[in-house]
Amino acid sequence: MMTIMKARYRLFATIMAGLVALGSVHSAVFAGNGHSQGSAAVDSARLRAADREPDAWMRAGRTYDDQRFSPLTQINAGNAASLGLAWYSDLDSDRSQEATPIMVDGVLYISTAWSKVKAFDAKSGRLLWEFDPKVPRDVGQVACCDVPNRGVAVWKGRVYVGGLDGRLIALDAATGKLVWSTQTTDPRLSYTITQAPLVAKGMVVIGNSGAEYNVRGFVSAYDADSGKLKWRFYTVPGAPGDPHTTPQLEAARKTWSGEFWKSGGGGTVWDGIHFDPVTDMIYFGTGNAVTWAADIRSPGAGDNLFTASVIAVDVKSGAYRWHQQLVPSDEWDYDVCSPLMSADLMIGGRRRHVLMQAPKTGFFYIWDAKTGETLSANAFAPQNWATGIDLKSGRAKVNPAVRYGVDRPAIIWPAPQGAHNWHPISFSPRTGLVYLSVTEQNAAFQQMPAQTFEIKDRVFNTGVIFTSDAIDRLYAAPGAPKRGLGASYLQAWDPVKGQEAWRAAYPEYGASGTLVTAGGLVFAGNHGGDFTAYDARSGRRLWAQPTQSRVLAAPSTYMVDGQQYVALLVGGRGPSTGQVRTSATSANNSRLLVYKLGGTAQLPNAAFKSAVALRLDPPLLTGSTERVIAGQQSFGKYCAGCHGVSAVADKAIPDLRFSPVLHSLTEWKGIVLGGARSANGMVSFKGILAEGEEENLYHYVISEANKAKAADEASKRP
């Protein structure tokens, strides 16, 4: 095979040399590698030989190992200071942008919020085509964390994207026209897809999200040509007699109690699916169980397999190979769906082929990719939930003090968003370091009384209270940690030594994806809105430019016609501090930005004229204290996911405290129960809310709006 590959590339080289001599190379015809532009002629052989095509970035993680390391060196530590914007494109989605751009055969492919796909000429930035799957906006209600999409996969002339509504969609890479589409989930249940599909052995592999709701996790593999289901792996047992039961799931059933299947069980695989052609295995991590509170979902405890676990399956059949449960009987939303990557490392004097992950839990794991043996697990961030990891069994030694109850709240590090979440990490074989965004934060948990808790459709079913007098007392106690957001930084982690090599502080709390290059550069954005290049060995800041937006996504880099580019999607929920909306089509300056050495393009610097100035103008509070307190509880349960904790929202989803609707309970009811704004994604909560609950919510928001107004006025007094 290698010989054929070599011959094929030699042939291309010869043809290309001939064309160059004739002066007939045209970027609209050839992409510089013999493939016509837009052909997306990616296959296994080409991906396995990706290092012979350093110019391309053919999949989200670039190579099969998902290291996100580029061999390109034109942009390097010596000249990064002269980076500038080559071109940019405004996006028409004003929600979070989380995709890594893919560049193959001269075309840059991206996905954006609401699962839209766009293809650009990678050099000029000319839009070639766009595709909108027209996801029904009410699906946003069951998407835990906005409506992003983390990227596309390209394969043999097709582009694959997961629709937020659970569809897997295949497009023609040249035209953007639909080839096939299949519903991978039960649309009646609260499933969503935000991850990039993974292509392996001619199959498209995809999981789903929804473990905060009431779903059962699974991973599916579809034939890339036809869209036919090839295999499906369920991560938690179903109801007794479930036809999908395997011996492993039957064994897993013994780690649960009660009628757990009625709430789906959870364990969704919502990101981080990895294929390793060395072992021919697919690896993925699973999310939390439903509910978060263990005493509600599985009274009397049990490990609740295979939630919060990393699982290896055979790529061809989907058959179980090994698993490691990172968090036995998780209660803190410690999904282990963070990116997985494979690498060859020298460990204990031996060359080992390993799988690595930096999950939410704050421990950096290295496993033997073939056997699943835990080779190391070292804390990369503050945590108090485990006193360590037993390497022999792989089992975490859970600190009993963090197991919370109805009368026993507990403060836990890290918070549910994790010490590191989905944000792509990168590894440089040159420096031997892994580059990741770390966020430090604690959270307090208290269980809802089991008898007052009821599993409901389309809402968070955590069984947990995050605000209470008991929690306030806990934080007020001597020696308690500071409540709220902590530090966040770019960390260079030495996986072999199991320790931090350096860190560079971010200006604002939040995480972003990373990219590392053979030019000795690490690229990362941040929530302060900068896009920054760091020296990969020292962490020294070599270049930064404002993007006018929060950056969540990871950059990628590619070369066209001898010019190296760095591409990045920007856009979070709301612009970063001190920045204003500059685009008519997007509330948060969502854009695709492409940089090169000496680039001179400029972002618009004037605020978009019709941006509405927000004004706090609530009516006086007339609701009783009881109503406000009940409304606070309901808000945490039903509203906070979109409209923000304590009713403080970002700028893409309305901050209800500023809403003129607060002046009319009738209008409020028309929206909350009547579905008057369902076309915008604010669906009716009729049948979900108990009688009078909508009114409690109304008074609670008015109360919060008046508090904010009073604080605002107090701050303006001399």
Q: Which residues are catalytic?
A: 333
Q: Cβ atoms within 10 A of the Cβ of 5, count?
A: 14
Site for Ca ion in 575-634 (CB under 5 A): none
Closest to Ca ion by CB, 25 vs 398, is 398
Stretch that binds Ca ion, among 284-292, 370-378, 700-708, 709-717 (CB under 5 A): 284-292
The answer to whether the CB of 74 falls within 8 A of the CB of 559 is: yes
What whole-number distance in Å separates Cα of residue 512 and Cα of residue 551?
A: 6
Triad 148, 419, 567: Cα angle to 5°: 45
Q: Reading across the β-sheet that carries 410-412, which strands appear in turn? A: 410-412, 443-447, 464-465
Closest to Ca ion by CB, 123 vs 423, is 423
Report the greatest alpha carbon distance in the chain: 83
What residues pair up with 87 in beta bridges, in sequence order?
Answer: 594
Q: How far is the CB of 48 from Ca ion (least distance, A)?
A: 33
Stretch that binds Ca ion, among 5-13, 333-341, 450-458, 642-650 (CB under 5 A): 333-341
Q: Is 12 exposed, middle or buried (0-12, 13-18, 19+ CB in 10 A)?
A: middle
Helix (H) or strand (E) holding 10: helix 2-22
The answer to whether the CB of 668 falls within 8 A of the CB of 694 is: yes
Stretch that binds Ca ion, among 335-343, 354-362, 432-440, 448-456 (CB under 5 A): 335-343
The answer to whether the CB of 338 falls within 8 A of the CB of 360 is: yes
Q: Cβ atoms within 10 A of the Cβ of 648, count?
A: 13
CA distance to 203, 230, 521, 595, per residue, from 226 (Å): 10, 10, 41, 37
Q: How far is the CB of 638 from Ca ion (least distance, A)?
A: 18
Q: 173-193: string of b/e by CB count within 10 Å (b at 16+)?
A: bbebeebbebebbeeebbbbb
Residue 486's nearest CA partner among 470, 468, 508 is 508
Query: What's the one-letter identity of residue 71?
Result: P
Closest to Ca ion by CB, 119 vs 308, is 308
Stretch that binds Ca ion, among 153-161, 331-339, 348-356, 524-532 (CB under 5 A): 331-339
Q: How far is the CB of 543 from Ca ion (least distance, A)?
A: 35
The answer to whether the CB of 140 falls within 8 A of the CB of 147 is: yes
Q: How far is the CB of 304 from Ca ion (least distance, A)?
A: 14
Residues making up the chain, counted from first to last: 718
Stretch that binds Ca ion, among 135-143, 287-295, 452-460, 642-650 (CB under 5 A): 287-295
Q: How far is the CB of 440 from Ca ion (least distance, A)?
A: 19
Stretch that binds Ca ion, among 61-69, 185-193, 327-335, 464-472 (CB under 5 A): 327-335
Closest to Ca ion by CB, 146 vs 335, is 335
Q: How far is the CB of 147 from Ca ion (least distance, A)?
A: 16
Closest to Ca ion by CB, 270 vs 275, is 270
Q: How far is the CB of 270 from Ca ion (least distance, A)?
A: 8
Q: Which residues contact 171 (CB under 8 A, 6 or more apart)?
A: 117, 131, 158, 159, 160, 161, 177, 178, 179
Site for Ca ion in 159-188 (CB under 5 A): none
Q: How far is the CB of 597 from Ca ion (least distance, A)?
A: 41
Q: How far is the CB of 287 from Ca ion (least distance, A)?
A: 4
Closest to Ca ion by CB, 298 vs 557, is 298
Q: What are phi and psi of 642, to 5 degrees?
A: -105, -45
Asked if residue 287 binds Ca ion (CB under 5 A), the reply is: yes
Q: To 10 degrees, what angle do helices 693-716 and 665-672 make? A: 120
Asked if residue 333 binds Ca ion (CB under 5 A), the reply is: yes
Asked if residue 288 binds Ca ion (CB under 5 A), the reply is: yes
Q: How far is the CB of 457 from Ca ion (least distance, A)?
A: 18
What whole-number distance in Å separates Cα of residue 227 and Cα of residue 178?
A: 12
Closest to Ca ion by CB, 331 vs 333, is 333
Query: What's the one-letter identity of residue 463?
Result: G
Closest to Ca ion by CB, 153 vs 206, is 206
State both tokens at 652. Answer: 């893409």
Size of the site for Ca ion (CB under 5 A): 4
Stretch that binds Ca ion, among 51-59, 172-180, 286-294, 635-643 (CB under 5 A): 286-294
Stretch that binds Ca ion, among 168-176, 326-334, 475-483, 702-710 (CB under 5 A): 326-334
Q: How far is the CB of 344 from Ca ion (least distance, A)?
A: 32
Q: Which residues contact 521 (CB under 8 A, 6 or more apart)?
A: 75, 76, 77, 80, 533, 534, 535, 536, 542
Closest to Ca ion by CB, 295 vs 333, is 333
Asked if residue 65 binds Ca ion (CB under 5 A), the reply is: no
What whole-number distance in Å separates Cα of residue 314 and Cα of residue 318?
A: 5
Closest to Ca ion by CB, 91 vs 336, is 336
Asked if residue 335 binds Ca ion (CB under 5 A), the reply is: yes
SS3 assignment, position 647: helix
Peptide bond into 481 cis (omega under 30): no
Strands 102-104 and 107-112: antiparallel
Closest to Ca ion by CB, 334 vs 638, is 334
Residues that bind Ca ion (CB under 5 A): 287-288, 333, 335
